[in-house]
Structure 1
């Protein structure tokens, strides 16, 4: 990769890492479902009016909108609101790579290589190690794991959709997610809680919504999608392992979260396991023997 594009890839990872801090800021003001609804509404409108027609079948846009937008991020926001630390959430969410491989085996009939299975075992051990210190917050931890599972399933749907324009795809996905999230927020958070949050809105809350909607979702995925098209997933995907490092570091700096030794050890196992699964082993060479 060109140095400029390496810098862009690292910058996107920093944006996505800091995103967890901004989610925490938003959740300090909004109920989880309302914050999620505002996030996808801001990402969709007015961009959807200028995005042009979708370039993939509607079934994939609806599927990703419901799995990724409605379910995955609602579980993530609910888990963080229930007490899961922002930095640790950024780490546990990377187990999506494990779920992606599992769903690829179950739904696409892909055959994992032995090194991928070994990487899966190592990454799962890392997630399990982090779980040992959660104590009373184990419910919040499981919500984040559920979010990672939904992300893995949405990765399969996105792979099947193969959108030629990632930015346009995310705008339409956001539009699909917006309506159901508004309805769910009114039903679960309640109109009174939603109205109270909107009436007492602060500039910090507005900044959190705009950051996760415009910078993290639209700008982040636009740059990421362009890099994937130019260099391929095998070259670009490993950069995503930087997200938990930026997430945990920014949470420590801006939110005062402590980084425990177990978190570091678990992070090494999760990231190491995922990277191990990306290793390509050379095919055995055939030796010709002349009679």
Structure 2
């Protein structure tokens, strides 16, 4: 349940950033706004990371292994650079309503890649929950009569595919410190997007607008991503992506608070479908006999049934704690999600 709450909180923060972005887009170019969002995320999380280090509270899990760098680099390029670039190209050809509709493909493509490429298990109940959430998300953004331009639509589908790839590649490094992952993405993607904006003739905004954009990015892109990565560890990519698909509902709710207007029937039907999807996921009970192969990694953990290991350093008994540890092969049966310890084939 903790991971579900974190995934929903990540969606709420990301969804809430959308109405704010709509306001800021009146004075900023799309690339400038994307750059400031990511830069605010990277700088904000970096400041927290440094402060935590100075206080001696930096976990040992933030050091990436050499084998993980390609996964992190791929996720940063796909989700922080290519995704936003394709989205901006699409927005120049496609109306806002159609764009919003197409962006709902991210959750679907994330789940499809997780299920087909990375072989995450999918039960009927989980699949039906995903369908309910996606239909609800589509209903929120559907506007009859919105025209679709094929070229622009392809750009936006490409952006969704990039973010879906990002989500699945981030799963490969999710045992590391979530704050370090999000910080790296922000500090790389922010300058790249800003450079594109400046190259195209944009200029930096006034101090108040710049601060508003960076603070929004810190919450909606930075803190949101930290929570998303933590949820990835415990739920797997497809399920976390499904919960994250409720972000449009959060965005619509904040929009109604900013621009009060009685929502129509489609809003309430969409909300009910999303609630149904979440309920189907929460009540999932996936249990069977499975074998854990040898595994060595680093992450924050307690000494539960999967962490029966000795310590090669003075151990005070504090839990949870973080250190490199090994998992010996074991076969047992219990309810589980496709988390970092249960990525086995079925």
TM-score, structure 2 length as denominator? Answer: 0.60
Does the alignment pair 1:40 with 2:38?
Answer: yes
Post-superposition offset of 1:45: 3.9
SS in 1 for 2:34: helix
Q: For the structure 1 residues 45 and 156, does the alpha-carbon distance in structure 2 shift closer, same or farther, using more than 3 Å as the test? A: same
SS in 2 for 1:30: coil
Is contact 1:24–1:80 with CA below 8 Å preserved after alignment? no
Q: Superposed, which structure 2 residues align to 1:59-98 within 5 Å? A: 59-75=70-86, 83-84=95-96, 89=100, 93=103, 95-98=105-108
Separation in structure 2 between the aligned mates of residue 269 and residue 142 of structure 1, nearest angstrom = 27
Is contact 2:140–2:248 with CA below 8 Å preserved after alignment? no
Post-superposition offset of 1:250: 0.9
Farther-moved stretch of structure 1 (246-255 vs 124-133): 124-133
Q: Which has the higher contact order (CA 8 A, sep 6+)?
A: 1
Q: Superposed, which structure 2 residues align to 1:214-225 within 5 Å? A: 214-223=218-227, 225=229
Is contact 2:134–2:245 with CA below 8 Å preserved after alignment? no
Paired residue for 1:287? none
Q: Superposed, which structure 2 residues align to 1:170-189 within 5 Å? A: 170-187=182-199
Post-superposition offset of 1:136: 3.1
Q: For the structure 1 residues 156 and 29, does the alpha-carbon distance in structure 2 shift closer, same or farther, using more than 3 Å as the test? A: same
Separation in structure 1 between the aligned mates of residue 191 and residue 277 of structure 2, nearest angstrom = 37
Post-superposition offset of 1:255: 3.6
Paired residue for 1:265? 269
Aligned length: 269
* Alignment counterpart, residue 108 of structure 1, candidates 118, 130, 139: 118
Post-superposition offset of 1:175: 2.2
Is contact 1:119–1:277 with CA below 8 Å preserved after alignment? yes
Paired residue for 2:64? 55
Separation in structure 2 between the aligned mates of residue 105 and residue 7 of structure 1, nearest angstrom = 23
* Alignment counterpart, residue 159 of structure 1, candidates 171, 191, 197: 171
* Alignment counterpart, residue 149 of structure 1, candidates 155, 161, 173: 161
Is contact 1:103–1:152 with CA below 8 Å preserved after alignment? yes
Separation in structure 2 between the aligned mates of residue 253 and residue 66 of structure 1, nearest angstrom = 35
Q: For the structure 1 residues 113 and 102, does the alpha-carbon distance in structure 2 shift closer, same or farther, using more than 3 Å as the test? A: same
SS in 2 for 1:40: helix
Post-superposition offset of 1:102: 0.5
- Please tell me whether Structure 1 or Structure 2 has the larger radius of gyration of its CA atoms: 2
Paired residue for 1:289? none
Q: For the structure 1 residues 83 and 283, does the alpha-carbon distance in structure 2 shift closer, same or farther, using more than 3 Å as the test? A: same
1:224-265 Cα deviation digits (max 9, x unpaired): 555776xx338x958646533331111112145663433443
Point out where structure 1 has 5 or more consecutive residues left out of the alignment: 285-291
Post-superposition offset of 1:270: 5.3
Q: For the structure 1 residues 272 and 99, does the alpha-carbon distance in structure 2 shift closer, same or farther, using more than 3 Å as the test? A: farther
* Alignment counterpart, residue 233 of structure 1, candidates 235, 241, 244: 235
Paired residue for 1:201? 206
1:153-205 Cα deviation digits (max 9, x unpaired): 21110112224211111111122223432343345xx22xx02xx2x5362x2
Post-superposition offset of 1:22: 1.6
Is contact 1:19–1:211 with CA below 8 Å preserved after alignment? no
The answer to which structure has the higher strand fraction is 2
SS in 1 for 2:27: coil
SS in 1 for 2:172: helix
